[in-house]
Amino acid sequence: MAKVDDLDLTILSELSNDASISVPRLSKKIKVNPSVVYSRIKRLVKRKLIERFTIVVNDQELGYQVKSLIGVNMDSKKRDNVIDELFKIDGVREIAEVTGRFDILVTVYAKSLDAMHKIVSDKIGKIDGVISSESFIEMKTRSKAMPYMQSD
Q: What is the pLDDT of residues 3-16, one digit of tens each?
A: 889 999 999 999 98
Q: What is the pLDDT of residues 33-81, one digit of tens each?
A: 999 999 999 999 999 999 999 988 899 999 999 999 999 999 999 999 9
Domain ranges of the chain: 6-46, 60-137
Q: Tell me the pTM.
A: 0.78
Nearest to 149 by CA among 3, 2, 1, 8: 8
Q: What are the beta bridge partners of residue 69?
A: 107, 136
Map residue 36 onto helix, strand or coil.
helix
- 119, pLDDT greater than 70: yes
- If one counts every other C-beta atom within 10 angstroms of the C-beta of residue 100, the result is 7
Q: Which CATH number is associated with domain 6-46?
A: 1.10.10.10
End-to-end CA distance of the chain: 15
CATH topology of domain 60-137: Alpha-Beta Plaits (3.30.70)
- If one counts every other C-beta atom within 10 angstroms of the C-beta of residue 129, the result is 17
Q: How confident is the model at residue 143 (pLDDT cuts 50, 70, 90)?
A: confident
